Structure 1
Amino acid sequence: MRHRDTVRTIVVLGLLGFTVLQGCECPGGGFGQARPEPAVTPETLDFGDVEVGSAKVLSFEVANGGTGRLEIVDTRVEGAPEGVFQLSDKKYTVTSGGRKTVEVTFTPFDEADYTATIFLETNSEETPTKEVHIVGRGFVPDVVVEPTQLDFGNVVVETVRTLSVQVSNNGSDRALVRIRPLTGSDVSQYRIVLPSQVENEQVLLEGGDAITIEVSYQPTVTGRHLAAFTVEPCDACQPINISLTGVGIESALVVEPPTLEFGAVNPGAEVTQSVHFRNVGNVQVQVTSLELSGIGPGQPPSPAFSIEDLPTPIVLDEGDEVEVPVHFAPQDLKSHLSNLLWRSNDSRNSEGTVTLVGQGGGPDVEVLPPELDFGPVAMGAPQERTVVVTNVGFDTLQISGYEIRGSGDFQLVDDPGAGQLAVGEIVQLTVRFDPTAEGDATAELVVHSNDTDEPEAVSLLRGTGLDLPPCTYEVAPPTLNFGAVERNKKRTLEFGITNANVSGECLVSVLSLTDDTDPEFTLPGGEVNGQLIAPGETFRVAIEFQPTRYGSFSGAVEFYISDPASPTRLVPLSG
């Protein structure tokens, strides 16, 4: 019996030993050696497009298809900057038949393509290294915000103006956009209305998508109000600031000026000025009535004032302006005072007055002749004429200056500059026409003064330039002496202007009696202007002398001729 038990024990121990040897995960060769076999799935991780600054996680699985424990003794990433790809585990053990999931986080630093390789160092003799290839692209969303400044302008207190901002994803990749709350000292005056797609201050915009943000401004007090909010296209993107500005105003209607000062206006003349009605707010206003009134209660307006018969109501939309002309035409030398009374539908500015002030009298400028025609004038032989400025008004005329506008062929000789003219006083201006080219030339002589109805008095200047050779001429006789002539009798004498040129005409531009010639002398043929004399020809000028009283009389005939050396000539007269 004891021998049988001993044999049984030996057999059991042998079987146990065989089982233990068969399942041993021991290094080295021989019977019972462990053979781990690593496998990874997938062998390539493609992260696709990931927003710069954000992170995306993918995973791969490490399986042990062999016998014995699989040891991952080290894991490294090569081919990308440190930190772009990060692993959840670098060292771990996988039992035979087991699996291990490893997470890989991709955080792109820049807008670029990234490629790398994960190397897994194992304890497997057959497969000491396994590789996982990883690719991904970092991108910056192409998000555009327009506009970045919202100017609400003038907004009447307790009314609302709404403007909008559009946020567009112009790229092909989706973008997670964040809209931050209002900031600034006047946030209570503004309100942002976000579209329904926005949740928790953020919205995911696919490529090509856009949203509209409504911003309302409702001032509760007058004055300038500032605020702002930001749009963040991505975590790593520079925030886009949208500034808000608006001005709260008490009333949309502005009437200017408060007083129309017409100054002194000559009786019989008329001066017109305007009252400006402007809508500077965000709501429509209407001017419902306009009328003239006296200064005191029940007083009629001065008849010297009148206004245009404009149809009412005058509708003014935002930014509109209308001018209401007011005329002042006094018939006497008195002071005149009235009001322009206006009414509107603006509850905050429903009515008001503009004071109208004027005085009959003042200076009155007269410029003669109103049109000065030099006629044809030879180049190189300038002609001078006189313009007379007179104060025909009731007060001192303040002249601030003289000006010639237009062709540079006209010049003011010896400009007297600014000055004063007493009532009835005159100033004589010499205007020269010196043509530099053939053809017509025009200009204006402008007198600037304090004449309220004619602050710029004008004399029109005209002339025609001719290109002629220098004129050589003779005057015979050089003087005319009529001798003794009975009263009321008439005597006529002549002088001749002869063109001594071999070729080329002579031009007599202006031929007239001088201003100081006694009235007993006359030109029976009238003044001459633009007379051409052919070579060798003589142009004859007749002068009549008819005295009506006893005494000696004198004068002269003055003419301009195309002689650059001596363009002006006098023929003295006596009798």
Structure 2
Amino acid sequence: MVGGLEGARDGIAPLSPSGDADRIQPGFVKDPAQEALAAKMKSGTFQLFLNFGEPLKDSNGDGIPDLSIANATQEPGLSGFALADVTLTLHLGAKGPFFTGIHDINLFSRVDADRGLATFVVPFEQLLSSLTPAERSAMDQGDGTGRLFLWAVSRLYGDRDRVPDTNDGGEPSVRTEVREFGFPLADLSTTPSLDYGDVRIGRHVDGPLTLCNHGARPVEITQIRLPDSTLTVPLQSPFTVPALGQFQLPLRYSPTAHARISGNLTVETALSELNAKISITGRGVAPILQVTPTSLDFGSVPVGFSSEGRQFAIGNVGDAYLDATWELIDPTLQFSFGGYIPPSGPHPFELYPGESDEVRLTFTPAGIGPMEGTFRIVSDDDRAPQVDVRLSGQGTPAEPRIYVTFVDPIQNVPIGGEGSSVLHIQNWGSALLEVGSVVSSSPLFSTSLSRSSIPSKEWADLVVTYHPVVWGLETTTLTIPSNDPTNPTVTRMVSGQAFEPPPEIHVSPVLLDFGTLHQGSSATLSFDVSNTGAGPLRLTANSPLLTSACNAQTDLSLPATLLPGGTLTAQVTLTADIDKSFCFILFYTNAPGTPYVTMELRATILSPVLYLTTDSLSFPETRIGSSSTVLLKVYNDGQEPLIISRATYLNSPFSLATALPFTVSPYTSGDLPFKFSPTAEGGWGAAVILRTNDLRQRDVPLYLYGFAFSPPPSVKPLILGN
């Protein structure tokens, strides 16, 4: 059971009470959980709350517990602050009946100007003695412990007063008769800061700016200096904050631009030491609706057709959330989302800052003439709360549209007979399609149209008949005229092939053996392709017929057709090249069982093959006037003699020590000697080109290096005389 006294804020230095906390009787336990909010100063009223062991009641919902002491009158002579008659209201809840009594209590106050304090004294002993035994008994009822603790707790001054009472027949033991509670003469505190956050431009937010006077005398506010023109206060200076009271100003922030405010609001008083600064922050924000473009012209569209899509973008380029609705206003239902017509009325949507969306519409005219609609956007953008996108289009008379299908070739038609295929001519337009006379470019193909007038969304059959007279594939071009203004003439290719008995192929020889050839020499052979079947033989091939891996040519020209009993003779010329000897001919046929024919070209190519172990020679140091010789090992890995016939760029002091030509027999080697005969000292070098009969290595580079030195001078002996 706790009572308490508390001011509007903590942190004021305590005034020592007249009693001693150490004199509290043992057994009175300090319970921090019971130290609820104990006292408040509000509108110049001092309130003392007593709590009897349970949460305080608030029967009228004014935020003040029912048990309180409040001043009733003002007494002159205390600079505007005094307490006289006191009203005591007790609401004990489950502890006892509701009780109200008015008691005159000796209450006095004083002002200590030197200490800057105003003091009032509450005589608790007299307060308790004014209760009747019945009232005291009612207060003890239901306590359960046989004790009643009246705690007058002052968080403001850091001490607590406890007056114990018992219901055991003994008299109350009053340990603390008087307590003094002091207040400064002048003490002003304010809301430390106000952050308005994001506030919509064109609107306002009132911030709770509270001025609290914890002193015993009123504080005069001489001026409030605002850090920004978007801030206003609904009160002219000067004004007064009453003693032990508070004053709340609805500081209004009304942003007018996309900008941030940050600064200090200064509260100036008659006493400069009481001046206060309050940090003010906030940002003006607003959505900005952007629609581009604001008109869509769908052009001319025939009745029954839909236009291509046209789109516009809806974006929020502001810095606040955009809340909006869209509505497609089109009583004749000619504008749609690609054929989808939404329900009438507005439809909500939202856009975050920086977000955008695209709207794509089509136009399907219901009649002839100019047509209009509106796409309306209503949003909370105060700058442009409604944006209309104008929709327009021109309806023109209905038109037909032609489409002709494609067909596969007409096949296996006997010569002298006929075969047919069907093309469909479709009208996907909105008017009657009139088809004219169909023309065939080949007399072997005839046509027949089921009907020339085709209603909208229907089709007609175009029968094409092939009358073959010879074997082979025949093609015709059909020209189909109509009254489609966008495609008045349509052409289609149709092919036909007569029934053909199977051919039979015979190739002789399949292997072309050119025998033995010297490298670079050529030889020519021929082969025959015969058709011994009853139908035409068709020959095809890839291009080129001979690949780059073979040094050969042929006069065989494909594709070609051989009638029954026919023979085709072709020649092949092979030029011997040891590096291009992978030779074959591949072609395809329509003969059953022989889809392709592969012919091999074979030859034995004779050629020398040069191999050197090095591409440079280094001579030993050679004295001027003498010479040295180095041998070049030359290998012939081929079947023909290797001949080195010339050495180009071989200049003094380098030379060959043997005459050319230099010959190396097949599958042997030889030593080609080079000589170095220097005439001056120093380093020498040469790049020589050796010409050979190896067609793969006609010119072979060889690098020569040598160093020459002078002989030492001769010494004549010295003869000494007697």
**TM norm. shorter chain > 0.5:** no
**Range into which the TM-score falls when normalised by the shorter chain:** 0.3 to 0.5
Higher relative contact order (CA 8 A, sep 6+): 1
Higher strand share goes to which structure?
A: 1
Q: State the TM-score, normalizing by the size of structure 2.
A: 0.29
Bigger Cα Rg? 2
